[in-house]
């Protein structure tokens, strides 16, 4: 595969640094502006939208940009994790959408790189990075969301495979997924978080039914998954048997890393669009939105740097998640106030985007750890307040 000369230039002389990647990637974007133009406005029909975003991903992979910051063993070109934040940020700043698997890549990719058998990671990660397949996160169940440790999906040991039965819900974009990072109970029903095992399941395995759920955005943003005697080979186990909680916690920490950085970059870009498109936006509203988004950026930078250096911040990233949902809701509340006709009734692409982003922002305080849970963590583990 030919790596673009701009990428090759950041690799000469050792591992790429954030400033070097930034400078070269900006130059590459400017140079390829004509080729990238068609990605600025996406088709509205979901299948075509996903297809177009996968094409963008392939283009960035083939040039080498998406391979930076990933280990060579899984198809990467090496360098610190933090350099991965540059590509998403600069894409957003230049007005391009995030490729379809960007978030998955950052949320689930590192867990597969760390916990999957090396041969499996080397096989599937390049395919994800290249936009050849997509993955989904099968954690939540109808009675196990915030209280994930009570999940009931059962995986029974049958020698060289697991037999899996049960139900998952709110699995984002599972209708497009080729694989699923699944949590299932392999211990006794009372084993709580100690009896859970993580596994990497092919979505075309017989016995899996995917039922899309239409959200208030009007799109099937997520799905219910039904597992009926699904056989998962043992070599698809991620980490230790009974060690699924460590995998789940690692995934959650990644949600606060490059994935959160991508989200704040996208919010910054949306705020800039709002200021440009809504002269009625009150200065105080714009100022407060800017403060929230900028504060999020600072927290997110601290977390990203620490994850990139392999240091843990413990429970501190709970502040990031809480601020992220506050900032996102505030931003789109401001959009509704300043662009009411466009947001509520507009029929063109940008109006639909404002409407859909406003509606999706309501979910920001639920997914990836609800706001109340983050407040509990901060109250108990940072401020030392009593549990009750
Ligand atoms: C847009 C979206 C995408 C999602 N994508 C995925 C996905 O891809 N994969 C996946 O596995 N899951 C996904 N989820 C599910 C998400 O992780 C759960 O919705 C979340 O964990 C909350 O769980 P729950 O919905 O069961 O609500 P519950 O846990 O039942 O909570 C209901 C309410 O009670 C509050 N609450 C619960 N426990 C406490 C407590 N101890 N103290 C105070 N308040 C409490 C919560 O904060 C919330 O307000 C997604 C959700 C959304 C909205």
Indicate if 243 and 292 belong to the same structural domain.
no
- How is residue 382 annotated by DSSP? I
Residues 69, 24, single domain; the answer is: yes
Which of 215, 247, 279 finishes a domain?
Answer: 247
Q: Where are the alpha helices (DSSP H) in 155-282?
A: 244-255, 258-277
pLDDT of 280 = 87
What CATH number is associated with residue 329? 1.20.140.10
Give the number of the atom of ligand 1 that is nearest the alpha carbon of residue 168.
Answer: 11
Residue 72 located in a structural domain: yes
**C-alpha distances in angstroms, 13 versus 29, 79, 165, 283, 388?**
23, 12, 52, 47, 56
pLDDT block averages, 10 residues each, the chain of length 388: 76 76 92 93 86 92 92 90 90 88 91 96 95 96 96 98 98 96 96 97 98 94 97 98 97 92 94 93 94 97 91 92 97 97 94 95 96 96 90
**236: domain CATH number?**
2.40.110.10
Report how far ligand 1's centroid is from the alpha carbon of 60 (Å): 33
123 assigned to some structural domain: no
Binding-site residues, ligand 1, Cβ < 6 A: 136-140, 145-146, 170-172, 221-222, 363, 366-367, 370, 372-373, 376
DSSP of 273-314 = HHHHH-TTS-HHHHHHHHHHHHHHHHHHHHHHHHHHTT---T
User: Does one domain contain both 140 and 222?
Assistant: yes
274 and 331, same domain (yes or no) = yes
- Does residue 115 lie within any of the structural domains? no
What is the gyration radius of the CA atoms in the chain, in angstroms?
A: 21
Full residue range of the structural domain in which residue 17 is found: 5-100
Domain count, the chain: 3
Asked, for residue 113, whether it belongs to a domain, the answer is: no
Among 100, 122, 157, residue at a domain's last position: 100
Same domain, residue pair 218 and 273: no
Ligand 1 center–CA 370 separation, angstroms: 6
CA pair distance 234, 281, nearest whole angstrom: 56
- Between the CA of 210 and the centroid of ligand 1 the distance, in Å, is 20
Q: Within a domain: residue 303? A: yes
* The pTM of the whole model exceeds 0.85: yes
CATH number (domain holding residue 27): 1.10.540
Question: Atom 12 in ligand 1: which residue has the minimum CA distance?
Answer: 140
142 and 260: one domain? no
Q: Is 212 exposed, middle or buried (0-12, 13-18, 19+ CB in 10 A)?
A: middle
Task: Answer whether 134's CB lies under 8 Å from 176's CB.
Answer: yes
pLDDT for the residue 13:
64
Indicate the residue among 247, 264, 290 that finishes a domain. Answer: 247
Q: Are 87 and 129 in contact (CB under 8 A)?
A: no
Question: In this structure, are 296 and 346 located in the same domain?
Answer: yes
Ligand 1 probe mutation, 143, 170, 249, most atoms within 8 A of CB: 170
Closest protein CA for atom 52 of ligand 1: 367
Instruction: Point out the catalytic residue in the list 167, 255, 288, 388.
Output: 255
114 occurs within a structural domain? no
Instruction: Ligand 1 pocket test: pick from 142, 146, 372 the residue with the most ligand atoms within 8 Å of its Cβ.
Output: 146
3-state SS assignment for residue 174: helix
Report how many helices (DSSP H) and strands (DSSP E) the chain contains, helices first.
15, 8
Q: Which residues pair with 226 in a beta bridge?
A: 167, 209
Give the whole-angstrom CA distance, residue 139 versus residue 166: 12
Nearest CA to ligand 1 atom 5: 172
* Per-residue pLDDT at 1: 57
Domain co-membership, 85 together with 164: no
Separation CA 255–CA 278 (nearest Å):
31
255 is catalytic: yes
Same domain, 175 and 193: yes
To test ligand 1's pocket by mutation, which of 100, 136, 140, 360 has the most ligand atoms within 8 angstroms of CB? 140
CA of 223 to the centre of ligand 1 (A): 14
> In this structure, are residues 173 and 222 in contact, taking their beta carbons and an 8 Å threshold?
yes
CA distance 5 to 11: 10
Nearest residue to 177 via CA among 198, 204, 155, 199:
204
Burial of 272 (0-12, 13-18, 19+ CB in 10 A): middle
Separation of CA 145 and ligand 1 centre (Å): 5
196 and 272 belong to one structural domain: no
Which residue has the CA at smallest separation from atom 13 of ligand 1? 170
H or E element that contains 10 = helix 5-11
With respect to residue 192, please indicate whether it lies within any of the assigned structural domains: yes
107 occurs within a structural domain: no
CA of 356 to the centre of ligand 1 (A): 20
261 and 238 within one domain: no
- Report the nearest-CA residue for atom 35 of ligand 1: 372
Residues 208 and 141 grouped into a single domain: yes
């Amino acid at each position: 595969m030919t790596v673009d000369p701009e990428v090759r230039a950041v690799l000469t002389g050792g591992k790429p640094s954030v400033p070097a990647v930034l400078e070269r990637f900006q130059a590459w974007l400017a140079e390829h502006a004509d080729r990238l133009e068609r990605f600025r406005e996406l088709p509205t029909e979901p299948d075509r939208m996903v297809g177009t975003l996968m094409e963008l991903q392939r283009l960035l992979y083939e040039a080498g940009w998406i391979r930076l910051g990933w280990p060579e063993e899984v198809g990467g070109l090496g360098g610190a994790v933090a350099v991965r934040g540059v590509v998403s940020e600069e894409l957003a700043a230049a007005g391009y959408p995030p490729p379809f698997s960007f978030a998955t890549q950052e949320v689930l990719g590192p867990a597969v790189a760390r916990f999957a058998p090396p041969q499996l990671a080397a096989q599937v990660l390049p395919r994800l990075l290249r936009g050849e397949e997509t993955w989904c996160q099968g954690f939540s169940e109808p009675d196990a969301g915030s209280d994930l440790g009570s999940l009931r999906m059962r995986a029974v040991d049958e020698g060289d495979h697991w037999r899996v039965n049960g139900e998952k819900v709110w699995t984002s974009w599972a209708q497009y997924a080729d694989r699923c990072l699944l949590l299932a109970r392999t211990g006794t029903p009372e084993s709580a978080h100690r009896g859970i095992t993580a596994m990497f399941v092919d979505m075309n395995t017989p016995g899996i039914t995917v039922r899309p759920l239409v959200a208030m955005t009007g799109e099937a943003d997520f799905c219910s998954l039904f597992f009926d005697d699904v056989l998962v080979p043992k070599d698809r186990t991620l980490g230790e048997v009974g060690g699924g909680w460590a995998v789940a916690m690692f995934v959650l920490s990644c949600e606060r890393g490059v994935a959160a950085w991508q989200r704040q970059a996208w919010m910054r870009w949306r705020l800039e669009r709002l200021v440009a498109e809504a002269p009625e936006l009150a200065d105080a509203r714009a100022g407060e939105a800017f403060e929230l988004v900028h504060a999020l950026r600072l927290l997110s930078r601290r977390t990203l740097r620490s994850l990139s250096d392999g240091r843990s911040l413990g429970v501190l990233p709970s502040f990031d998640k809480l601020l992220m949902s506050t900032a996102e809701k505030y931003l789109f509340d401001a959009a509704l106030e300043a662009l009411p006709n466009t947001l509520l009734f507009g029929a063109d692409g940008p109006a639909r985007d404002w409407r859909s982003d406003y509606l999706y922002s309501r979910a920001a305080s639920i997914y990836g750890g609800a706001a109340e849970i983050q407040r509990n963590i901060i109250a108990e583990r940072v401020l030392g307040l009593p549990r009750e």
